[in-house]
Structure 1
Amino acid sequence: MRKKFIMTGIIAVSALALTACGGGGDPLSSGSGDGGGNGGSDTVIVGSADFAESQLLATIYSQALQNADIEVEEQLNIGSREIYLEALRDGSINLLPEYNGSLLAELGGEIDPSDPEGLRTQLDELLAPDELMVLDESEAENADTLVVTPDVAEEHDLKTISDLEPVAGELVLAGPAEWKSRHEGVPGLQEVYGLEFKEFKVLDAGGPLTLTALQNGQAQVGDMFSSDPAIEANGLVALEDDKGLFPPANILPVINENVASDEVVEVLNSISAALTTENLMAMNDRIANGDDINQIATDWLEENGI
């Protein structure tokens, strides 16, 4: 029986077209440094990272705010966290969907998965100097996950990331370019797990290039996202992060205080309250099957009365 082959995560080519959904042009060219961008001080400029799920979440934010008659611009597909955080700081954008533990790690905080309140307190403190704040977090989570094919898992008896230690030198790891320097990437895998891979192959962040490399044997270990339906659909084995390298990754909005009116906050918090990992996976599956992101966002908002 032929195995079903699903591409999801970053849809690298088609995602580029989404950049022009709202503001158009260079997504970083409109920043004024005061949180306003091209619009007035009360315009919410929604940005996203350069992968499909982030673009979907940003589109949900954008449509929900527009439904509430709030002026919105979109600057999607900006890039990695290192790039879009600067866009938030310089005012090119003033709202973006984020992942709580991953953001805290980037900001240099101390992560204790058993203390979500402490995590949030640190985020508030670290973002405050840039006039940024986080709103309510969602139950929906999407953490980095190391995956292997069933054949690789069986050959090397792999169940946890620690199990890779004696065989990592024989294996190629695939992931995004930023993994070369991020602690939650190659450096952390070396420091926390003692893993020295044969090669690190720069591909995409949990997207079709990584999936293809795993399927055709160009890589044996890959970084994918836990909410990606391609993991289950393609029978991949997600290795347990038994030493806690990858932080919790609940979705929440990051927003500039200047545009965080009571109405804006209420709309965004209602999205967080309704969003679950299960319906996030269902929406990601629709993206993988070629559905339009704008329509997926519209359908989810209608289903949840937002």
Structure 2
Amino acid sequence: MTMTHVVYDITGCPGLDQLSGDELIDAMRQTAHRLGCTPRTSLIDPFEPFGHTCVLVLSESHITVSTWPESGLAHVDVFTCRAHVEPGEAIGPLLRLLGGQIANTQQVPRLPPDNALHAPPPAKKGFCSKAGPITCSLLPSPEGVERIATNPCLAVNGFLGLVLDAIPEHEMADKVELRNFRTGLRTFAEQVVLVADAVDCAYENDHLAVSVYQDPEYDWSLGVVAVVRGDVEALAEDAICLLAKQVPFIPDFGVRAEGPPTPKFCADSVLREAQGYQFRVVWLGSSDKMCRSLSGSLEDA
């Protein structure tokens, strides 16, 4: 078991005196879901004339937020025994709500319970390693969407949970395209795990990079991109073949339109070359807007 405890000082936060405790708890719940954690209960303690301390109890430990509106300051404390992504990426909903910037980050060493009777082991991060510089440079930066995770740990069920937790159950039940996206996502995750298993330290050795994207206004509008180096490209091609049986690859997603996205399962791949290596970039999305954003950013790359 790996313990992850990170404390953030957020400065330059405007309008903290206007925030409600419920708004803070909602953003904390979104952060918990991104971490792959399970919220259990919450506590809101308001101060006079303004300011809050909020606690979200997790099955895996806790998230707390304390605000000082008079100073534009907030402290965010994330402690968990399991994190699918780096906490700095998971706190995006809180950063958007608070409106400030991270001024200081402190990682707190914590002793795992299973080692409590022994000398503590070297500190380990509760998230997977960073991608190598080449594969990471090929990950797209689409407009209008937010990257919520890079290189999430690739156990299939955990990967699925990280992405699918953002889709409300009633949306998944009512929309055929979103159900198709769930099926395609499992195929995608299983094949990417095969790449990771086939190459030791696939991330660090520049064989693999994965990112998860989300529309900041519509949580269910999601995208996933994997960059696979040529010497394990056969596994990426297997993923393309399997996905092709589930959904036709549609090269044209229409013109960019105003208004909310609509459910649309899409998948495609492109070949790229960088520093003498061949790469295949595989992607899929759950909405027409995400499909256009990913397709456009990869075409422009």
Q: Quickly name the TM-score band, shorter chain normalised.
A: under 0.3
In terms of fraction of residues, the more strand-rich structure is 2
In terms of fraction of residues, the more helix-rich structure is 1
TM-score (normalised: structure 1): 0.24
TM-score (normalised: structure 2): 0.24
- Point out which structure has higher relative CO (alpha carbons under 8 A, 6+ apart): 1
